[in-house]
Amino acid sequence: MRHLISADQLEREDIERLCDMADKIRENPQKFSKILSGKIVATLFYEPSTRTRLSFESAIMRLGGRIISTENASENSSGKKGETVSDTIRIVQSYADAIVIRHSDENSAENAVKVAEVPIINAGSGKNEHPTQALLDIYTFRSSKGHIDGLSVAMLGDLMYGRTSHSLVKLLGLYDDITIYELSDERLRLPEEYVTLMKSKGVKHVRCGSFDDIPRDVDVFYQTRVQKERMGEQADKLRTFDLTTSIMNKFSDDSIIMHPLPRNDEISIELDEDKRAMFFEQAKNGLYARMALLYEILFLG
Ligand code: NCD
């Protein structure tokens, strides 16, 4: 793999291999601590980030590489002066061996690849995709449930504008016997193209009206934040389906709770102590999944 732009690029075998590698790195980080020595990776973030940027930067440094970074590229890079992403990529690639980019433009990563002579990793392209998040989400399913085939996943929150859900649906489509229960405001439902995709991949898709429509033994709750920054005033009038202790009491002890984070009120903090809460672990898994990806792209080449 040279670039990672979309979850479409990943096959089951790729995911298995990357997850196996993430496990190996987690078990013996010392063994991998110099593999990127001499490499420099640029992180170009035009949108806010905590987990994605810092876990990428930590992953690079834990593999022995170094970083150059603009943590607020829309303000602090020449983007502010009107430079296009393509021009910026042409420049930054002279200084770095790979570029990790997040931008509000849905085609940002694809456009970057068109001019890039170094690997490009999409760390979030508008409301479109977030493939490395989907990779770490699948890695979290695998480490906490032990398998992906046969999983039932309740997807909640903002499935219209939430890029993490889009990339995740694409990856879940690679597995057998998957059921997705969709519970969201009708204006925040998965876009039609993802519904079509699920159908073509044999994913069972159930639109729910309330928590009562989700089976007690659902394997995963995948909660997401309303992407207010992508929809303006409409955001305040939307219905959310927040997870609280009283809601979770209706579900199995084995139903895990995930969230790409950051959260607002959609998972109440009282659930942090619930043994089913997996979202902090999930964020930690991002480090290992991204180390595995960097190993493939930059070390194996
Ligand atoms: C997500 C994102 O940026 O799409 N955050 C993340 O990378 N973990 C989710 C969000 O912002 O709601």
CA distance 166 to 219: 19
Distances (CA, A) of 67 to 54, 95, 98, 168, 197: 11, 10, 10, 28, 37
Tell me which residue of 65, 112, 58 sits closest to 290, measured CA to CA: 58
Let me know if 81 is a catalytic residue: yes
3-state secondary structure of 278: coil
Other beta carbons within 10 angstroms of residue 300's beta carbon come to 9
CA distance 23 to 41: 23
Query: Which CATH number fits the domain 131-282, given the four candidates 3.40.47.10, 3.10.129.10, 1.10.630.10, 3.40.50.1370?
Result: 3.40.50.1370
The rounded Å distance from CA 38 to ligand 1 centre is: 30
151-171 in b/e form (b: 16+ CB < 10 A) is: bbbbbbbbbbbbbbbbbbbbb
Sequence ranges of the chain with CATH classification 3.40.50.1370: 7-129+284-300, 131-282
CA distance 196 to 272: 35
Q: Is the dihedral of CA 229, 179, 3, 30 positive or negative?
A: positive
The rounded Å distance from CA 137 to ligand 1 centre is: 12
Distances (CA, A) of 301 to 16, 98, 180: 18, 11, 35
Give the binding-site residues of ligand 1, using a 6 Å CB cut-off: 51-52, 124, 130, 133, 163-164, 225, 260-261
Let me know if 62 is a catalytic residue: no
Q: Starting at the edge strand that comes first in sequence, how are the strands of the sheet with 40-45 ordered?
A: 66-70, 40-45, 98-103, 120-125
Catalytic pick from 39, 53, 62, 102?
102
Atom of ligand 1 nearest to the CA of 224: 12
Let me know if 130 is a catalytic residue: yes
**Could you list the mean pLDDT of each consecutive 10-residue stretch along the chain, which spans 301 residues?**
97 98 98 98 96 98 97 86 94 98 96 97 98 98 98 98 98 98 97 98 98 98 96 84 98 98 97 98 98 98 89
Element holding 180 (H helix, E strand) = strand 179-183
Residue-level pLDDT at 76 = 84
Catalytic pick from 3, 39, 43, 52?
52
Atom of ligand 1 nearest to the CA of 123: 7
Catalytic pick from 62, 130, 276, 290?
130
The rounded Å distance from CA 31 to ligand 1 centre is: 31
Residue-level pLDDT at 235 = 78
Q: What angle do CA 232, 236, 238 make, to 5 degrees?
A: 105
DSSP letters, 90-125, are: HHHTTT-SEEEEEESSTTHHHHHHHH-SS-EEEEEE
CA-nearest residue, atom 12 of ligand 1:
225
- What's phi and psi for 222, nearest 5 deg? -115, 95
pTM (global) more than 0.85: yes
CA-nearest residue, atom 8 of ligand 1:
260
Element holding 70 (H helix, E strand) = strand 66-70
Residue-level pLDDT at 271 = 98
**CATH class of the 7-129+284-300 domain in this structure:** alpha beta
Tell me which residue of 37, 268, 255, 4 sits closest to 136, measured CA to CA: 4
What type of residue sits at position 61? Answer: M
Spell out the residues 6+ positions from residue 263 whose beta carbon is closer than 8 angstroms to its own: 223, 225, 279
Test site for ligand 1: of 56, 100, 130, most ligand atoms within 8 A of the Cβ: 130
The rounded Å distance from CA 300 to ligand 1 centre is: 28
Paired sense of beta strands 179-183 and 98-103, if any: unpaired
Residue 239 and residue 264 in contact, taking contact as beta carbons nearer than 8 Å: no
CA distance 231 to 160: 10
Atom of ligand 1 nearest to the CA of 225: 12
Let me know if 90 is a catalytic residue: no
